[in-house]
């Protein structure tokens, strides 16, 4: 794992975005798994800036959504769907045929997971997976548990995830969500892990011990041969 300590959030975002663009320069046909939340916003802003000068870098780019809150309508302002469309698809002109997305309002939850898994198996593997680090060590909505679910699945949300900043304005907070599994993430050719935000000092310390446990899902990234971990030093 390549760990890069950054002076601040802006430097972290720029370095991570530059890494993505370097890959796109070499091969524009990429499948990128996009996380939501505050951690990757700076990356997506930086990619939009690159698009203005080099739209050809993004002409064959496809996006897969990492996770989604369960029970939300797709057009809900708090949904991951709205976030992805506003911050990635529209700015980078990604058409719907180049986008793979959980439908959070689909009540056939098992079939929805099976559909996304089939999409990954057919169109994957993921080239670049962008991840943030949750306050309890989760990646996507893979929560600390006694065991890890490998593929796309429904996750029962921990109390920490139910208090995520994206849920602050929700009237009815979700108790479950859709997520790619740890296996799907580890099969990615490259993983970009962003560590930023308050109240994560203890989780960061646990992660850096390199001890792998299902109670700290992010620790499984130590098994991957190509992880770029960017740490915002202001979060330490």
How many Å apart are CA 138 and CA 116, to the nearest integer?
A: 20
| Distances from the Cα of 38 to the Cα of 3, 35, 119, 164, 194, angstroms | 20, 9, 27, 10, 10
DSSP string over 171-196? SS--SEEEE--HHHHHTSSEEEEEE-
User: One of 138, 142, 153, 228 is an active-site residue; which one?
Assistant: 138
How many Å apart are CA 113 and CA 180, to the nearest integer?
A: 9
| Catalytic status, residue 143 | yes
Do the Cβ atoms of 182 and 214 come closer than 8 Å? Answer: no
How many Å apart are CA 70 and CA 155, to the nearest integer?
A: 9
User: One of 67, 68, 81, 228 is an active-site residue; which one?
Assistant: 67
User: One of 68, 81, 127, 143 is an active-site residue; which one?
Assistant: 143
Do the Cβ atoms of 116 and 178 come closer than 8 Å? Answer: yes
User: One of 136, 145, 215, 224 is an active-site residue; which one?
Assistant: 136
| Catalytic status, residue 168 | no
How many Å apart are CA 174 and CA 158, to the nearest integer?
A: 10
| Catalytic status, residue 54 | no
| Catalytic status, residue 119 | no
Q: At what angle do helices 41-53 and 9-26 cross, to 10 degrees?
A: 50
Do the Cβ atoms of 194 and 11 come closer than 8 Å? Answer: no
Catalytic positions? 67, 136, 138, 143
């Amino acid at each position: 794992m390549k760990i890069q300590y950054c002076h601040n959030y802006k430097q972290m975002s720029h370095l991570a975005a530059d890494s993505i663009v370097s890959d796109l320069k070499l091969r524009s046909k990429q499948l990128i798994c996009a996380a939501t939340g505050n951690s990757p916003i700076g990356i997506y802003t930086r990619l939009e800036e690159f698009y203005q000068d080099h739209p050809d870098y993004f002409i064959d780019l496809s996006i897969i959504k990492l996770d989604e809150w369960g029970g939300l309508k797709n057009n809900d302002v708090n949904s991951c769907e709205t976030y992805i469309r506003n911050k990635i698809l529209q700015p980078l002109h990604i058409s719907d045929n180049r986008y793979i997305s959980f439908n959070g309002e689909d009540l056939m939850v098992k079939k929805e997971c099976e559909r996304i898994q089939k999409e990954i198996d057919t169109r994957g593997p993921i080239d670049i997976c962008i991840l943030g680090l949750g306050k309890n060590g989760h990646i996507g909505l893979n929560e600390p548990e006694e065991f890890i679910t490998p593929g796309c699945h429904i996750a029962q949300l921990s109390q920490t995830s139910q208090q995520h900043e994206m849920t602050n304005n929700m009237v009815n907070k979700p108790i479950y969500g859709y997520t790619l599994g740890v296996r799907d993430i580890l099969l990615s050719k490259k993983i970009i892990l962003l560590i930023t935000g308050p109240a994560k000092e203890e989780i960061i310390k646990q992660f850096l011990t390199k001890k792998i446990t299902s109670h700290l899902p992010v620790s499984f990234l130590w098994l991957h041969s190509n992880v770029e971990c960017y740490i915002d030093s202001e979060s330490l």
